[in-house]
Structures are given as C-alpha cells and as structure tokens.
Amino acid sequence: MNQPLTIERKAEDAINMARILYAAHAVTFFFSLGLLSIVPLIINYAKRPDAEGTIAYSHHGWMIRSFWWYAAWMIIGGVLFATLIGIPIAFGIWGLAWLWKAYRLIRGFIDLNNNRAAPE
C-alpha cells in the first residue's frame, strides 16, 4: 500500500537523489571530461521541482550552474584552440575549468552530506 510522503521522507528522497546525481556528474566528468554530463543535467532539471523546500533544491541549482559555467569555459577554450595562436591559453583555461568543476562537485557533495544548502 502506498504511504503518503511525509516532509521528512520527501527531504530524505530528495537528498538521496542529489547524492546520486553528484556521483553521476563526477563519473561523467572524470571519464568523459564532461561530455556525458548532459544526462545527469537533464535529471537535475527534472528532479529539482520535487526537491522544492529542501536543501537538495539548492544542490540541484549548484550542479546545473556548475555544468553551464564549465561548458562555457570549455567552449571558450575550444575557440581559442581553433585560432592556433591561443593553444597555450586554451589548455590553461581547460585546466582551470577542470579544477574548478572538480572543486564544485566535491564541495557540493560535502555540503550535502553535512546537511548544508549549497552556496548561492
């Protein structure tokens, strides 16, 4: 028999989903440099409304913003790489973007496990 969702159960389910999505972002990020991160991104967009009113809601936004900023910096690096003159700069941008995204995934996961909302 289906039990109605309590507020605590809703929050617990939302936090567990956010944990799974952090792991999915990390796996796709580390093994495809973010190319496959579109899959967990779509799930972030789909599950964010379900997490409204919980700390997981802020974490969905954190992961979504992290993805789009990382994609923007990777594209900027790609444009510079295509100019040939900007190849060293492109590698620098890609390296910094990679470190920044890794930091965001780790920081968000730690905050979620400590029951803290993601930073704005």
Share of the chain above pLDDT 90, in %: 76
Q: What is the average per-residue pLDDT within 12-16?
A: 92
Alpha-carbon 120 to chain mean position? 14
Reported confidence tier of residue 3, pLDDT bands at 50, 70, 90:
low
Q: What is the average per-residue pLDDT within 19-38?
A: 90
What pLDDT shows up at residue 99? 95
How is residue 80 written in tokens?
């510079």
Reported confidence tier of residue 4, pLDDT bands at 50, 70, 90:
low
Largest CA distance in the chain: 65
Res 5 pLDDT > 70: no
Reported confidence tier of residue 1, pLDDT bands at 50, 70, 90:
very low
